[in-house]
């Protein structure tokens, strides 16, 4: 079985360690032997991967001298390694478009956005503070957005699109994000996204 490539920012050795541990949990010594590296070098990479939340200590094995720690991939990290989500979402939306009226599709997408917002802790503070918190959430999800003031409103403007592969001119996807932000902020939000060849996110927040 082949696995999707790891984010290159993690580095070749750390990527290889994650790939090995996805196949079978191992100790630092077993990893060192498999990679042809020293124990200390592997321990350094393991420490980094533990901090990143990519792996975890899953058990302690008995040995003649002292317990040996066995490492495995953090279950929640599997989703970070998958590259299937966006293509699947794009095909799902294409299927929904062919089976649902436009108004019903938009209602479904808005409901998804509301459920997403309900899963997040609500921000506190002024309209600006809450909008900046929303931008931070989007950036944590992989977007690149910032908040600016424009004509008495706050605008969350993106340098690209978080769901670009699924957009393809689909207003319903942007409406889902509009509803997510509206419920998260408890403020009126209007999407002003560019759904062209290079989609860009844009959400206008009515701060008053």
The predicted-structure confidence for 86-105, as pLDDT tens digits, reads as follows 788 888 888 998 999 999 99
Average pLDDT for residues 27-53, to the nearest whole number?
A: 93
Q: Does residue 170 share a domain with residue 105?
A: yes
Q: In what order do the strands lie in the sheet with 68-73?
A: 26-27, 68-73, 55-61
Q: Does residue 115 share a domain with residue 34?
A: no
> What does the pLDDT read at residue 11?
57
> What does the pLDDT read at residue 183?
97
67 in a domain, yes or no?
yes
Q: Does residue 89 share a domain with residue 191?
A: yes
pTM listed for this prediction: 0.66
Domain that residue 190 falls in: 85-205
C-alpha to C-alpha distance for 185 and 68, rounded to whole angstroms? 48
133 in a domain, yes or no?
yes
Take residue 96 and report the two structure tokens written for it.
């929904």
Within 10 angstroms of residue 23's Cβ, the number of other Cβ atoms is 10
Q: How many domains does the chain have?
A: 2
Torsion angle (degrees, nearest 10) of CA 97, 100, 106, 110: -110
The C-alpha angle 157, 175, 105, rounded to 5 degrees, equals 155
Determine what percent of the chain is predicted with pLDDT higher than 70. 94
Higher pLDDT, 203 or 151: 203
């Amino acid at each position: 079985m082949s696995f999707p490539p790891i984010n290159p920012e993690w580095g070749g050795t750390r990527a290889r360690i994650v790939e090995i541990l996805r196949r079978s949990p191992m100790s630092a010594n077993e990893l060192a032997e498999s990679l042809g590296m020293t124990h200390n070098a592997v321990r350094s990479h393991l420490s980094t991967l533990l901090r990143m939340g990519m792996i975890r200590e899953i058990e302690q094995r008995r040995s003649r001298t002292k317990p040996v720690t066995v490492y495995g991939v953090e279950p929640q990290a599997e989703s970070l390694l998958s590259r299937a989500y966006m293509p699947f979402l794009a095909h799902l939306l294409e299927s929904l478009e062919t089976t649902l009226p436009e108004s019903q599709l938009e209602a479904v997408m808005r409901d998804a956005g509301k459920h997403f917002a309900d899963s997040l802790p609500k921000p506190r503070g002024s309209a600006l503070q809450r909008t900046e918190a929303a931008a931070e959430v989007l950036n944590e999800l992989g977007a690149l957005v910032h908040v600016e003031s424009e004509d008495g409103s706050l605008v969350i403007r993106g340098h690209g699109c978080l769901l670009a592969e699924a957009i393809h001119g689909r207003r319903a996807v942007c409406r889902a994000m509009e509803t997510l932000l509206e419920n998260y902020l408890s403020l009126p939000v209007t999407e002003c996204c560019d759904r062209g060849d290079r989609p860009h996110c844009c959400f206008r927040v009515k701060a008053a």
